[in-house]
């Protein structure tokens, strides 16, 4: 029972990382209708920026804040100068652009910091506490709680502020939003900046555990995409639920199903996807999108 609780909490912690990335992907998709395959790569760049700031002698928390601010700017600039040109065009071309961006960002990290694993200091103490007889690491708990808090803040931003209303308007209908006098271009930049911020937080939270490499989040990106498919592109809550479920499920399966084990646990969400795509193609929580021609 102790192991079980431990596995569930650890699963929720990794699941929350996937959830943050998945939310960033949904945020971008809602605003611009494309999937940003570079979301993970950009998050890795943010983690490297935090690492570089720490190397300069700054305290960790300040380094993370600097990385988050820079990530916001980077996301906004990427939207303005790279994605804008392909936004209203063929979505497949735009996807290839984000893949090019992923390659470019990964390459930049590799040139600047190399391919060797770098240790990243943890924001949270590495001790553990006992809950219901199970030993649970403080880091897992704190990671999950941090991500939940950020999601609540984001939800408030979207539902309770004028900026959030404007962002939703642009996502819903860019043309009408422009007619009502909203600066659509700038709001899209803010949307991409927010997504990059979310990714940055996920990046710095997971970096101590995975250690920094340019491809650190490639696997996490795949999990996040799985969560996006399972939760449905139209449903942020669905994505968070799906991401947490994937995190917990893969941990349990890795330990309790020896046939799959730790090396093949990444196949779990995709086996799930195959079943769900056949049975319920719009995702667990998504709406069926009917396009009128």
Partner 1 sequence: MNAAAATARRPWVRILLAALAAIVLIVAPLALPAFANQTLVRIGVYAVAVLGLNIVMGYTGQVNLGQIFFVGLGAYVTAYGVNHGWNILLVFVAACAVAGVVGLLVALAAARLGGLAIAMVTIALPIVGVPLAKRLSEFTGGSQGISARFTDAPDWSGLDNDQWQFYIVLVVAAAAFLLARSLVRGKYGRAFAAVRENEAVAASMGISPYRTKVLAFTIASIFGGASGFLYLAAVQYTSPETLSFGHSISLLAAMVIGGAGSIAGSLLGGAYYVFVPQLTNAIDPNLTTVSQGALLLAVLFLLPGGLVSVPRVVRRLTRRTGAGRSTGRRSSAGPVRETSQQTAPAHRPVPDDALEGHEQTERQDGP
Q: Which residues bind partner 1 (CB under 8 A)?
A: 34-35, 37, 82, 85-86, 88-93, 95-97, 99-108, 110-111, 114-115, 174-175, 214-215, 218-219, 221-222, 225-226, 228-229, 263-264, 266-267, 270, 273-274, 277-278, 281-282, 289, 291, 293
Instruction: Yes or no: say if 186 and 77 are a contact pair by the CB < 8 Å rule.
Output: no
CB 129 to partner 1: min, Å: 33
Of 22 and 189, the one with the shorter C-beta distance to partner 1 is 22
CB 229 to partner 1: min, Å: 6
Q: 189 to each of 83, 116, 136, 232, how far by Cα in Å? A: 10, 33, 39, 24
CB 122 to partner 1: min, Å: 26
Of 1 and 175, the one with the shorter C-beta distance to partner 1 is 175
Of 203 and 232, the one with the shorter C-beta distance to partner 1 is 232
Of 1 and 111, the one with the shorter C-beta distance to partner 1 is 111
CB 276 to partner 1: min, Å: 9
User: Which of 45, 53, 15, 93 is CA-nearest to residue 252?
Assistant: 15
Q: Which residues contact 240 (CB under 8 A, 6 or more apart)?
A: 19, 22, 23, 151, 231
52-81 core/surface letters (b: 16 or more CB in 10 A; e: else): ebbeeeeeeeebbebbbebbbebbbebbee
Of 37 and 158, the one with the shorter C-beta distance to partner 1 is 37
CB 278 to partner 1: min, Å: 6
Question: Rounded to an integer, what distance in angstroms lies between the CA atom of residue 11 and that of residue 93?
Answer: 35
Look up residue 139 and give its two tokens. Answer: 């880091």
CB 26 to partner 1: min, Å: 12
CB 160 to partner 1: min, Å: 28
Of 89 and 125, the one with the shorter C-beta distance to partner 1 is 89
Of 214 and 247, the one with the shorter C-beta distance to partner 1 is 214
């Amino acid at each position: 029972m102790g192991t079980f609780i431990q596995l569930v909490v650890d699963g929720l912690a990794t699941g929350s990382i996937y959830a943050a990335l998945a939310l960033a992907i949904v945020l971008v998709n809602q605003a611009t209708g494309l999937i940003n395959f570079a979301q993970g790569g950009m998050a890795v760049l943010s983690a490297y920026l935090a690492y570089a700031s720490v190397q300069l002698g700054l305290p960790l928390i300040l380094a993370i804040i600097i990385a988050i601010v820079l990530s916001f700017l980077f996301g906004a600039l990427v939207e303005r100068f790279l994605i804008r040109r392909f936004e209203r065009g063929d979505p497949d071309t735009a996807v290839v652009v984000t893949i090019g961006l992923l390659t470019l960002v990964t390459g930049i990290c590799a040139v600047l910091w190399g391919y060797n694993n770098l240790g990243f200091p943890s924001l949270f103490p590495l001790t553990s506490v006992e809950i219901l007889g199970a030993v649970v690491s403080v880091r897992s708990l704190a990671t999950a709680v941090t991500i939940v808090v950020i999601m609540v803040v984001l939800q408030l931003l979207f539902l309770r502020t004028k900026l959030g209303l404007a962002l939703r308007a642009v996502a819903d209908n860019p043309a009408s939003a422009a007619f009502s006098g909203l600066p659509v271009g700038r709001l899209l930049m803010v949307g991409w900046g927010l997504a990059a911020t979310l990714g940055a937080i996920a990046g710095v939270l997971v970096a101590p555990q995975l250690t920094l490499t340019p491809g650190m989040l490639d696997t996490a990106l795949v999990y996040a995409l799985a969560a996006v498919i399972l939760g449905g592109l139209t449903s942020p809550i669905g994505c968070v639920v799906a991401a947490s479920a994937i995190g917990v499920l893969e941990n349990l399966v890795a330990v309790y199903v020896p046939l799959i084990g730790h090396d093949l646990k990444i196949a779990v969400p995709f086996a799930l996807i195959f079943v769900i795509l056949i049975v319920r193609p719009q995702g667990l929580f998504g709406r069926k999108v009917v396009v009128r021609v």
